[in-house]
Structures are given as structure tokens and as C-alpha cells.
Amino acid sequence: MILDKTPYSFDRVVRMALAAGLLWGAITTLGYLSDVLIPFAVALLLAYILNPLVHRVQRLVKSRGLAIGLTLVSFVVVIGGLCWVVVPLMGREVAHMGRLISDLVSNSRLAEQAANRLPPDLWQALRDYFNTPEVRDFFRTDSFISMAQAALRRILPGLMGIISGTYSVVMALVVPAVVLLYLIFLLMDFQKVRVAWKEMIPPQYRESVVAFVEEFDLAMNRYFRGQTTIAGILGILFATGFSMVGLPMGILLGIFVGLLNLVPYLQLLGLIPAVILAAIHALETGQSFWVVMGLTGLVFLVVQVIQDAVLVPRILGKAMGLSPAVMLLSLSVWGKLLGMLGLLIALPMTCLVLAYYRRLVLGPATQAPALASEG
């Protein structure tokens, strides 16, 4: 127990100070090595997500290597097929949005309708925003790939600096290859490590350490398998719904809102761009803004009902996990400390810290209700 009445002797204070120093040194080292650790972190998360599928395939083909090969080929085919279909649609959406923005900031029929139908302050704010060089250049890009690269340079300047230099073409091939190699090696050893690591723990600590790791694994199952699956399904549902309504950039908005759902209920932030795009669509088509806004709100309502009534009970069950506030805070803190690497490891590290807190600070008595809720 950590929160006990043991007096704070000089020796204990020194040990606590050393532990804090080691923790800070570890974070500093991770920050320094973040560029080279990102491929490994991506591969590790993918391995954790794909391992159950590999295990199921292995039951059919018996060979672990063949199961990994079939799983990875299927994964690449599915992702490639989605990109083959979705990327051209996104490119057309971006080009269409670029034309609408050009019309809005010029003295066109669309701009005249906007001036007549929108409140003056709101119209002026939108016009000033769309007329900024960053927005106009973003949507003036000829290809969707170039637009994505421009976005990544703003979001991940350090990472893009690695792959946009003299050896950009080589690095664009090397980085995915390194991730793939890491992924194959991790999947090959996943089951072996899962069984053998317990024997490496000294017998006197084995029971408590194994229980701690199992609790951490329960939390990881929820947030890197269950929540990722739900976010992917919601992204498809939102993209389909927004496209049916006819919103400009409906597919991009749907995928964005789905990704927001990696933190539960954060997809409500997608209402802000949805309202703006609904207003632009109403101006473009001459429909009533309230009709378009009502249809857009209906998409949010229907998807939310599907999420709460079908997806969450079936995929996540009744387990109590991290609250949205804790998840958002962890993403903010770890992202600030380690950048992109911090965003990748934020939720695993938060699950690890909470598992440690429940077991070693609150004590074993608190574990029974938590584990019972997982059933």
C-alpha cells in the first residue's frame, strides 16, 4: 500500500526523489527519441489490434506465419480498397469546396445570397475566414495527396521534416517498410511473449505483477480494440449520412467525426463544422437552412442512437473504463510532452497509471468490483 502511515524518513524521501528523477529522465529520453520510436509505436498498436484476428486465422490454418501473412494481406487489401474508392471522392469534395469558397469571397450569386440570408456579422466573419491565405491555398491545391501533405506539415512538422527532405521518396518507402517489419516481428512473438513473460518474474512478485498486467490488458482491450472498432464504424455511418444529406466535404467530415469518437462523445465537436457546411449547402442549393440543419442533426441523432443502443453494448459491454474527460486530458498532456509519440502512447500509459493506482494505492480490495463489471 502506498497511502499508508509509514513516516517519511530521509531514506524514503530520497527514494521518492530518485523515482521522480528517473521518471522525468525517461520522459525526456522518449522525447529525444520520438522520431525513431514512432514507427515502433505504430506497429505495436497495430499488433495489439490485429493479434485477435491473427489468432482466429491461426486456428484454421494452424501455422502462425501463414496466419500473419493472410491477416496482413487482408488488412492491406481492405485499407487499399477503401483508399482506392474514398480518396478520389475526397479529392472531388475538396475541389468542389474550393470552388464554393472562391464564389463566397467574390461578388458572385452565392456571395449575394449569403449576404441576404445570413446575419451581417456572421457573414462577414465567414467571409474573412474563407479569404485568409491559408484557407484559400489549402483548397486551391490541385490534388488530394498534396492537400494531405500540406495538412500533415501543419499538424506534424517534425515528422514531415523527416520525410520531406532530399530523400523524401526513399523515406516515403522506408518508413512504411520499417513499420511492416516491426509489425511482423511483433505478431510472430506476440503469443510466445504473452506466455513466457510470467516465468521471468521472481516467484514472490509473480502473482501481483500478473494480476496488475491482466488488469492493464482489460483496459487496453477496451480502448484499442473496442473503441477503435466503434470509431471506424461511426466514421462510415457519419460519412454515409452526410453524403446523403449532400453536405460539402461530407466524407471528410464523417471520417473526422468518427476519429473524434476515439474519445467518447467528443464527436459533438463536429457539430461546429457541420453547421457551417450545412449553411454553405443551403446557400448553394437554395434550400431552407433549417431543413438542411435538421437533416444534419438527424444524422447525428441516428448515429448516436446506433452507438449507444447497438455498438457500445455489443462491443464494449458493461465495463467501466476511462471517462471522456480523463481520456482528453491524457491526450493533451502526453501530446504536449512527447508530440506525436505522446498521442500514440497516451491512452496505454494512462491505463497503465490507473491500473497501478487501483492495485498498489487503493489496494487489492478495489479490484473485485472492477473485474466483476468486465463480465
Over 50: is that where the pLDDT of 199 sits? yes
* pLDDT for the residue 242: 92
Over 80: is that where the pLDDT of 271 sits? yes
pLDDT (tens digit, 9 = 90+) per residue, 149-191?
A: 555 454 444 444 444 444 454 555 677 788 888 888 888 887 7
- The band of 367, judged by pLDDT with boundaries at 50, 70 and 90, is very low
* pLDDT for the residue 145: 53
- The band of 375, judged by pLDDT with boundaries at 50, 70 and 90, is very low
* pLDDT for the residue 296: 92
Total residue length of the chain: 375
Over 90: is that where the pLDDT of 302 sits? yes
pTM here is 0.68
* pLDDT for the residue 362: 57
* pLDDT for the residue 336: 77
* pLDDT for the residue 190: 78
* pLDDT for the residue 143: 47
In Å, what is the CA distance from 123 to each residue of 43, 104, 250? Answer: 46, 10, 22
pLDDT (tens digit, 9 = 90+) per residue, 85-102?
A: 887 888 788 778 878 887
CB under 8 A, 24+ apart: contacts of 349-355: 350/322, 350/326, 351/216, 351/219, 351/220, 351/223, 351/322, 352/216, 354/219, 354/322, 355/212, 355/215, 355/216, 355/219
* pLDDT for the residue 65: 86
Return the higher-pLDDT residue of 348 and 273.
273
- The band of 73, judged by pLDDT with boundaries at 50, 70 and 90, is very high
* pLDDT for the residue 137: 66
* pLDDT for the residue 180: 86
Reduce the DSSP state of residue 318 to 3 states and report it: coil
* pLDDT for the residue 147: 54
Residue 254, phi-psi category: left (phi > 0), alpha (psi -120 to 50), beta (remainder)? alpha
Instruction: Calculate what percentage of the chain has a pLDDT beyond 90.
Output: 7
Please say whether the beta carbons of 241 and 299 come within 8 A: yes
